[in-house]
Structure 1
Amino acid sequence: MAVSNPFRELDEFERSFFTNPFGFFGGDTLAAFRTDILDNGKEYVLEADLPGFDKKDIHLDINNDVLTIHAERNAEREEKNDQNNYVRCERSWGSYSRQFDLSGVDAENMHAKYENGVLTLTMPKKEPKPDTSRHLEID
């Protein structure tokens, strides 16, 4: 019988989630959005900080057992100021993406909501398969 260690599983789950598409720039120069992942027993809850995004600019795609969260913000500074009068412009724009492993998640029953700049995904865990054993006869 396999002994389950939820802390190790969650740690592995979190590590396998993130792929940093901007890692070659040296760390968080173009950092992806931050996420928290909670384990509520029968489900995981992923909260992603996406302030300033419109809901229509956030895309959630599931391919096999991989969830991709992609958010894109267009450059507002070009639309707002034709004379380039900015003394300083710190608002970020561009495309941000993260991927998460869903192998332990019931992807058919996931729910998503976006409120006050936070994307919340409720991800029910897959029911554990019972350990099975059988005797195999030799021909």
Structure 2
Amino acid sequence: MMMPSIFGENLFDDFMNDFTFPKFPDVEKELYGKHAKNLMKTDVKDTKEGYEVDIDLPGFKKDEIQMELKEGVLTVSAAKGLDKDEEKKDGTYIRKERYAGSMSRSFYVGKHVTEEDIHPKYENGILSFSVPKEEAKPVEEKKHYISIEG
């Protein structure tokens, strides 16, 4: 294939090197502020029986996590405070990056789901649970005849 050239140089040699895509802003940081890295990262897997959900909650204890099901919406909340004893120790902090605060995520799971359907497990900083799918109701084929006047 012949490429156009001037004085033996390919016109397209440096084209891609000179071309730069516009830099996109760090959307997560703009939307969520400096705590963007602390969001509840979630994986949802569709299975035959339902949905398997894994939520990253590193650094939280089991008793700092709550789940609430209300009108088909499942809300997972986590709240964390730093130990008050740490504040009394000798020395001055130069930098504190550990997260203290609360976060939550809500998922519409359907009004067919009850508390008994969800069996959460918290292990190694990951909250795992499954949500059953709603059983498909058989669709009855109804015939709607229209009478013809004559």
> 2:87 matched to 1:81?
yes
| Counterpart selection for 1:99 from 101, 106, 110 | 106
Aligned residue for 1:27?
Answer: 31
Which stretches in structure 2 are left out of the alignment for 5+ residues? 1-28
Highest Rg: 1 or 2? 2
Task: Note the aligned Cα RMSD (angstroms).
Answer: 2.5
Aligned residue for 1:115?
Answer: 123
Which stretches in structure 1 are left out of the alignment for 5+ residues? 1-24
- TM-score calculated relative to the size of structure 1: 0.71
Aligned residue for 2:16?
Answer: none
| Counterpart selection for 2:54 from 37, 40, 47 | 47
- Across the two proteins, how many residue pairs are aligned to each other? 115
| Counterpart selection for 2:66 from 53, 56, 59 | 59
Residues 56, 88 of structure 1: CA spacing in aligned structure 2 closer, same or farther, 3 A cutoff?
A: same
Higher relative contact order (CA 8 A, sep 6+): 1
8 A contact 1:112–1:122 mirrored in 2: yes
For 2:122, the aligned partner's letter is: Y
- TM-score calculated relative to the size of structure 2: 0.66
> 2:78 matched to 1:71?
yes
For 2:30, the aligned partner's letter is: G
